[in-house]
A and B are shown apart, each in its own frame.
Chain A
């Protein structure tokens, strides 16, 4: 098997697991919905359209970030049952293929949540974007991948710590802060139409390339540590 086939096998395994239980997607979706509702209670989004446009980008990403974090913690916990992780270590397949497969699966789960959440968000918040909305089709996948690639990596890292549930947000939030800034700024640019999102999309692309490389290079170390 070549590298792409290894990745595909891991991806298919994760998708099948999710298809049978639907734990992550359902959990994330409901959690994100709750965050959106709770945030709507903090202010009245339907009455102040221009303020809503200003802050909606941030709210959307915060909801997605928190939702993704709940699923990421679980994504490796699956592998620890029956010592599956040890089997992965013994396997001849490259460790980074396991990582990319899992990151891709998590990416697809979070994207599925976004597809459902985005219309609900638009309706609930009475959101009327003033910029070029198609650019969100670039920003959302890039931002999701930036969250998910680091999240999957640090979830694997925090498997080795005492209180892993607490650790993931503590590590993930500071590391992804530049990416969060970029995706929130880009989304706000599209929603308000006041400035061009191009610069922040470039920042996101650079961030994604740099951190995907770092994750892929270092995953072997994390997996095989004893």
Chain B
């Protein structure tokens, strides 16, 4: 891991710790007591899992753009698309799990088929399906198939997101920008913002790590295809020529 990545990880851990302190030190909520504190983890994961799909979309579009123009960049875009899709699934899973824990305690049920939960489950399904397709497709086709699928999935996400306005809902109305009574008590704002920042940093770190791993896997499989995996001199030439291509 390069120095700056280690620094980023350290900083992330500090912000995560401070976010945890803020979440625990925030005042008790009037009706739900301490129970609501899971909200500080639910909200960042839920919001961020709607951000990573668009990084995935951007990377997929760049892949399709570079596919015939610049093979190295296309491979990098594909690696980034994979990384962001995996983090989407991770964050959506945590968002669903914390939401269900909260729902069980607050409403007495683990799951209700209301609009927000259904559409959020659909987001999760879409990106699990994306990862499945990646593992199914024959090598050499994976990147193109998954890039096309990523575009379809990303088009589907806003259609799902809108449906909260079309269907009656059990989930609390949108916390931010949801009308007159929306918004949170100012005393809770620091905890929300710190946790938001912390989990965004952590997500960025995961995407970066996964991207680096996928790039190494690509380089290893390229080298294997060229039959120069254990030939250090040939690897050096290859790496140098790839840098020139870039």
Contact = CB atoms under 8 A, between A and B. Distances in A.
Interface of A: 150, 157, 160-163, 166-167, 170-171, 174-175, 177-178, 181, 199, 203, 206-207, 210-211, 214, 218, 221-222, 225
A161 B122 contact: no
Interface of B: 64, 122, 125-126, 129, 132-133, 136-138, 141, 144-145, 148-149, 151-153, 155-156, 159-160, 163, 166
Contact of A221 (B126, B144, B166): B144
A166 to B, nearest CB: 8
B129 A170 contact: yes
Contact of B145 (A157, A178, A214): A157
Nearest to A218: B148
Contacts of A178: 122, 156, 159-160, 163
B145 A160 contact: yes
Contacts of B138: 160-162
A214 B122 contact: no
A162 B145 CA distance: 12
Contacts of B137: 160-162
Contacts of A203: 166
Contacts of A199: 166
Contacts of A175: 126, 152-153, 156
Given A199-B166, A207-B159, A225 B152 contact: no
B136 A167 contact: yes
A125 to B, nearest CB: 24
A162 B133 CA distance: 10
Contacts of B141: 160-161, 225
A225 B129 contact: no
B124 to A, nearest CB: 9
* Interface majority SS (helix, strand, loop, mixed), chain B: helix
A225 B144 contact: yes
B133 A170 contact: yes
A171 B122 contact: no
A150 B138 CA distance: 21
A128 to B, nearest CB: 27
Nearest to A207: B159
Given A162-B137, A211-B152, A218-B148, 6 more contacts: A161-B136, A161-B145, A163-B136, A175-B126, A178-B160, A218-B151
* Interface majority SS (helix, strand, loop, mixed), chain A: helix
B155 A210 contact: yes
A12 B112 CA distance: 48
A207 B133 CA distance: 23
A150 B159 CA distance: 16
A207 B151 CA distance: 14
Contacts of B159: 178, 206-207, 210
Given A171-B149, A218-B148, A161 B133 contact: yes
B163 A171 contact: no
A189 B148 CA distance: 34
B137 to A, nearest CB: 4
Given A211-B155, A218-B148, A221-B148, A167 B133 contact: yes
Closest 9 CB pairs of A and B: A160-B141, A161-B137, A174-B125, A225-B144, A178-B159, A161-B136, A174-B126, A174-B129, A175-B152
A35 B152 CA distance: 29
Contacts of A211: 152, 155
A214 B136 contact: no
Given A162-B137, A170-B133, A174-B126, A214 B151 contact: yes
A207 B138 CA distance: 30
A222 B143 CA distance: 11
Contacts of A171: 129, 133, 149
B122 A174 contact: yes
A180 to B, nearest CB: 11
Contacts of A206: 159
Contacts of B148: 157, 218, 221-222
B121 to A, nearest CB: 10
A157 B145 CA distance: 7
